[in-house]
Structure 1
């Protein structure tokens, strides 16, 4: 093969040409190993004839070949070692037939497959080709010369630019059952899929492949149409096992059924197709053989029940009433025609999650023909019916008939009165069962559960003909002992129609008897009323809705905004600037929500940038409140803020003489009363010089100059603003 071996690096041993009629059936598999470097298992499950097969034909390993489906080109092969061999179990071992003994042999190997190496859209297939089949098969020609080819298709592992993960179906170990002539027989041949893919089943003619006696272990070839077995005359896929009801398979479950007409060993194959989202992604063949024998005639056991006080046997749909004080056990009989036959009795409650009854004794052995044996069905304390609905129990008697046990079923309806457990109670904090509600208006109340016996109880709620979650009703199930409570919350939706009535059943269950709880419920009826809605209102703490603010001379703008609603609705409060953003302007205001009343403070210190070069601008702010009722209403109040620039530039009169002698009078050259800054003219600095031009004082802030260590004389000052400057002279006397 020129293809590189992309499956695994192998050491290939030479096959011995061992010829034997040993192959009973089997199938191939490929399964994913998530989160593992060796990301796939590939292998074969084979059923081997342990009596007629040559032990030398039990291969220590198998070669599984992989081909591309589009053109049947070889991709590589895997040598899988034998990892397990175990005997096939029989459903009824004591009925074992000496001519049947089968091994289930598993070959498997873990390996790494690179998904991108398997990206052909039409997918791939693997085969195992080996001779020979069991030589005692009765429905094909030359069975000892017929080979076996097992086939499995799998999808590309890389699809739509992503890894496509998939595992082939998994099947439980086959049981070595056999069928009886002219008796119905059922055989579960179905599997499961780890990926949740759906499976379908159909009978096909088994594949033969290219191996034969001379070459029992050939290198597999790719093919779109492998050779198949040749049926005997009169045999086809429609009657692989002929008889009153030929072999069929349930297309959905894989259940095989047949009523065979003749003894023999019959080979058959089932094709299992795998679908994901309605698209077929894989297929495999499963081969096996079914032994049909001439079984001795066996008769099923018979269950009989005669109710107390009656002379006739129980008939279906008759209700047996067990009153308080009556015996807890009822007597049932079983009879079987066969001598020394073991009969086992079991039972279950059909319409109850737990059985709450026992069967004594549960196993018998007949001593004479048509022996009649008696057993009791004893009811536990928790076998109680709390209403008119009886509990249906199903009793099953099973014998040791071959190949599968024969059985009889008896169903009994039993109504049993309370055994002393007192009913729990459920109440609410409401004044009655009828509650008037309004769309958009919340309602809250408490539901209580109580048990006088102090048993564990569970509290839950359920809408009558509606889902509580769909209606946004909040009531979580809870449990506890003796006393419990839970809160019910609901805001009727706006689409709730006036006049409608919704009923919720609040149920408390006494959990003394798990699976058969004693329960009581209390309905609460919600009557939807019309939704009247009074609009909300919004106002501010301002005396007037207009504020004038002068930059540089006014303090911060502060006021409160109050929204109120006369109803119990949730209301919201928000602010919006007309033509500007509240936050971008530096205004401080938090939008809020609440019930009935909401307050939020407003604050702003306008800056010069807000004037955008103008001497005056007006900012209009809308404060809006809206209720959250179904008929939403709003209210708005508006505040205007007029922002101005302080353009006054009056310079105070400076003294021309100061006397810094610390007498507290005229000691300083006062600068703190200089004009305040405005948006176009801001204070820069003040400088004082002596008569020779030497600087004796400098400041960038409006700070008074109080000289103490300077000589008297004449000085000059310069006060500078960004747009103007002021100069003058000053005499200092000491």
Structure 2
């Protein structure tokens, strides 16, 4: 678990002296799970350190991360996390590095065990790291060299509603160390990924300052519902953290930062990342960083231009270019760039398709003079063909080597190209026409065929027009093959299909020679619903009387339950007890499904336990049949079973004399005629005593009679005991 929380006063006595310096660039805390591991969590922080202006002595070898309960800010504990890694932050384009900007990314962390019982408060917990000081040359805040930095992270309880709640904080890629240029657009990916699939939202905030300062740069953190924030310079706020023609903003869904800064400087900012699951916020963290803005040499982006064949003017992106079947497959595009010795790369893709089916030759150039004009070809493959008169959208992108990020230009070209030698597939059915008259409950089955004259690979599928086939119970599984394929369509129209309704299913065969741009043909089938009267099903039993009176011990109750439907619909038969579980009482009955007629046997041998100590109990069993094609068509029959205890326990008349002389007549005192047990009164034992009260016979088995052979004649007494009653009397034995 987390190391024991040490009281603040005691911790101050032992705190290790830290060097004070302006060195903190930014960073964030993290907590991630270790599934299947005894040490089930990783906790730590990623910190960005000014490698040029920071005091090396301020680079901590470990950090203390403090954990508090959110509900009342009570301290839960603290963790000493050692330094795991230090590395230089890279640039998106390493050639664009500048000597005044160098940053280390330092990772601290530790693996530990968190006990769910220690972290079950419904409002959750938060952790903080509080340290001074920030970079002293920051432009947009007051007294930056004396400003502390507080990283903050909220996490949910490990148990919610008695169930383990798994969660990891978002994970972020290492930040690139790029800088921005005055009056030039700049983009910065500040987004993360969540291992649990939770959604993330991003908001610019004023960075937290915490309680550390020059005099106490690494004091133990305090719990708080509102930590101090940095003080902006006059005229600066969250709305213009980095001022300029387009102040700093963040995309709330992706975390992409964008800015067109107006002046040079070093600007600190923070983004709050909120974590949501099923619409409920479960966590939050803050990410700090700073962006350097420099006065860069004026750079101009490349420019893409295209002059269609036979045209005197350059292409307008609202045009559609038509390329006929026998026209050349390649056309020429030019790119210009104002800079000398600038490498220009050209990329291309088709929009809305999984394959491009074209290539660029060559794909990169280097300018040799100012405003150099370079040419490249766009060559279309045989699969670059348009169908149904719809053009294909090509997007070309040219990017140069401008710093800190490449400048680009985009050209969108819309091309309609006539088909080549690939023949379209054919799709047919085994129906006589494309209209089918259907009746509720009456199965419809036919075969759909796909065929390709070129023997290409095919895909055959079906789709309801303005409805989902599965929702209507239509069965048609998509199938693939080569040259010739087929698949069966089946459907039992439901009873709620209304007369006069028409449902349209489009069956499509796709030629897959060109993956991502298939050549397809469709054939519609129209299903016309005729009058569909539905006869409800009926359920009966083989009993002559639906009321059964049963005495415990009298054998087994058995009968059959029968369901019938004159239509050809599928029906189901089931049973349920009113207020009790049939199986739990030992009743045997299996639900069944079938067409027209369904039969299922019922059986039960009630035991004393069902009486629950009473003399009798009544049970109602409902047997229900349903027309599975018509949810409203049902029928129910009920059987009443009254279970009674056996109360006919009359004691037989015993003889008062026996003559055990071996002649086979009246030799024994017979017990086998004793009354049967019932649920409330069961046989216990029988005993016989002589006239002086000495027991001479005892048995718990009433099936065994007393046949004395070695006792003298005289008068004897018997005692017969049941659980609730006892019987006694006298008996003379004659020799």
Normalised by the size of structure 2, how large is the TM-score?
A: 0.72
1:504-515 to structure 2, matched below 5 A, reads 504-515=505-516
Q: Give the CA deviation at 1:38.
A: 1.0
Q: Which residue of 2 aligns with 1:89?
A: 90
Aligned length: 583
| Bigger Rg, structure 1 or 2 | 1
Structure 1 residue 501 and structure 2 residue 513: aligned?
no
Task: Describe the SS at the equivalent of 1:333.
Answer: strand
Question: Which residue does 1:17 correspond to in 2?
Answer: 18
Aligned to 2:214: 213
Alignment CA distance shift 1:38-1:629 (3 Å): closer
Residues 1:4 and 2:7 are matched in the alignment: no
Change (3 A) 1:124 1:388: same
| Kept in 2: contact 1:19–1:216 (CA 8 A) | yes
Alignment of 1:423-438 (within 5 A): 423-438=424-439
Which residue of structure 2 aligns with residue 257 of structure 1?
258
Matched, 1:360 2:343: no
Which residue is 1:120 aligned to?
A: 121
Q: Assess if the C-alpha contact under 8 Å between 1:274 and 1:280 holds in 2.
A: yes
Kept after mapping to 2: 8 A contact 1:332/1:376 = yes
Superimposed CA distance per residue, residues 594-653 of structure 1 (whole angstroms, 9 cap, x where no aligned partner): 668x79999xxxxxxxxxxxxxxxxxxxxx999988699999xxxxxxxxxxxxxxxxxx
Contact persistence 1:533–1:629 (CA under 8 A): no
Matched, 1:440 2:441: yes
Q: Distance in 1 between matches of 2:88 and 2:328?
A: 49
Tell me if 1:163 matches 2:164. yes
Q: What displacement does 1:280 show?
A: 3.3
Deviation at 1:149, TM superposition (A): 1.5
Equivalent position of 2:481 in the other structure: 480
Asked if structure 2 preserves the Cα contact closer than 8 Å seen for 1:3 and 1:75, the reply is: no
Q: How does 1:191-270 map to 2 (within 5 A)?
A: 191-270=192-271
CA distance in 1, matches of 2:299, 2:265: 20
Equivalent-residue separation in structure 2 for 1:147 and 1:566 (angstroms): 84
1:408 alignment partner in structure 2: 409
Q: Paired residue for 1:608?
A: none
For residue 22 of structure 1, report the CA deviation from its aligned partner.
1.4
Cα distance change of structure 1 residues 65 and 572 upon mapping to structure 2, 3 Å threshold: closer
**Residue in 2 that maps onto 1:54:** 55
Partner of 1:76: 77
Structure 1 runs not aligned, ≥5 long? 539-560, 575-587, 603-623, 636-692, 696-734
The SS at the match of 1:231 is: coil
Q: CA deviation at 1:469?
A: 0.7
Name the CA shift for 1:110/1:529 in 2 (closer, same or farther; >3 Å): same
Give the corresponding residue for 2:27: 26
Call closer, same or farther: CA 1:426–1:58 in 2, change over 3 Å.
Answer: same
TM-score scaled to structure 1, two decimals? 0.73
- CA deviation after TM superposition for structure 1 residue 385, in Å: 1.0
- The equivalent of 2:519 in structure 1 is 518
- Give the deviation of 1:47 after TM superposition: 0.6
SS at match of 1:485: strand
**Structure 1 residues 221 and 433: alpha-carbon distance in aligned structure 2, compared to 1, 3 A threshold:** same
In structure 2, relative to structure 1, the CA distance for the partners of 1:47 and 1:441 (3 Å cut) is: same
In the TM superposition, residue 401 of structure 1 has moved relative to its aligned partner by: 1.3
Shift of 1:3: 9.3
The answer as to whether partners of 1:130 and 1:218 remain within 8 angstroms in 2 is yes
8 A contact 1:434–1:527 mirrored in 2: yes
In structure 2, the CA distance between the partners of 1:630 and 1:353, relative to structure 1 (3 Å rule), is same
Could you say if the C-alpha distance between residues 437 and 135 of structure 1 is closer, same or farther in structure 2, counting changes exceeding 3 Å? Answer: same
- How far apart in 2 are the matches of 1:627 and 1:46? 67
Q: State the shift of 1:133 in Å.
A: 1.4
Aligned to 1:675: none
Given the superposition, is the C-alpha separation of residues 534 and 330 from structure 1 closer, same or farther in structure 2, using an over 3 Å criterion? same
CA deviation map 1:174-214 (0-9, x unaligned): 12221111222222222233333333333222222232334
Q: Which residue of 1 aligns with 2:615?
A: none
CA distance in 1, matches of 2:591, 2:213: 88
324 and 33 in structure 1: CA distance in 2 versus 1, 3 angstrom threshold: same
Shift of residue 507 of structure 1? 0.5
Q: Distance in 1 between matches of 2:390 and 2:25?
A: 52
CA RMSD across the alignment? 3.7
Do the aligned partners of residues 571 and 468 (structure 1) sit closer, same or farther apart at CA in structure 2, a change above 3 Å counting? closer
Equivalents in 2 of 1:590, 1:121: separation in Å?
A: 46
Q: Which residue of 2 aligns with 1:291?
A: 292
1: CA distance, partners of 2:513 / 2:99: 53
Change (3 A) 1:394 1:524: same
> Partners of 2:169 and 2:562 in 1: how far apart?
69
SS in structure 2 of the partner of residue 470 of structure 1:
helix
How do 1:460-609 residues align onto structure 2 when only pairs under 5 Å count?
Answer: 460-531=461-532
Distance 2:627 2:230 in 1: 81
Q: Tell me what 2:36 maps to.
A: 35
Check whether the contact 2:501–2:528 (CA below 8 A) recurs between aligned residues.
yes
CA contact 2:181–2:296 (8 Å) conserved in 1: yes
CA contact (8 A) 1:439 1:630 kept: no
State the distance in 2 between where 1:459 and 1:424 align.
10
Match of 1:395 in 2: 396
For residues 451-509 of structure 1, the C-alpha deviation after alignment (integer angstroms, 9 at most, x for no partner) is 12211111100011111011100000011111111110001111111111111111111
SS in 2 for 1:515: coil
**Counterpart-to-counterpart distance in 2, 1:627 and 1:228:** 69
Distance in structure 2 (CA, Å) of the matches to 1:572 and 1:66: 59
Counterpart of 2:142 in structure 1 is 141
**1:102-113 counterparts in 2 under 5 A?**
102-113=103-114
Distance 1:106 1:68 in 2: 25
Q: Which runs of 5+ in 2 are unaligned?
A: 540-560, 575-587, 602-623, 636-662, 666-735
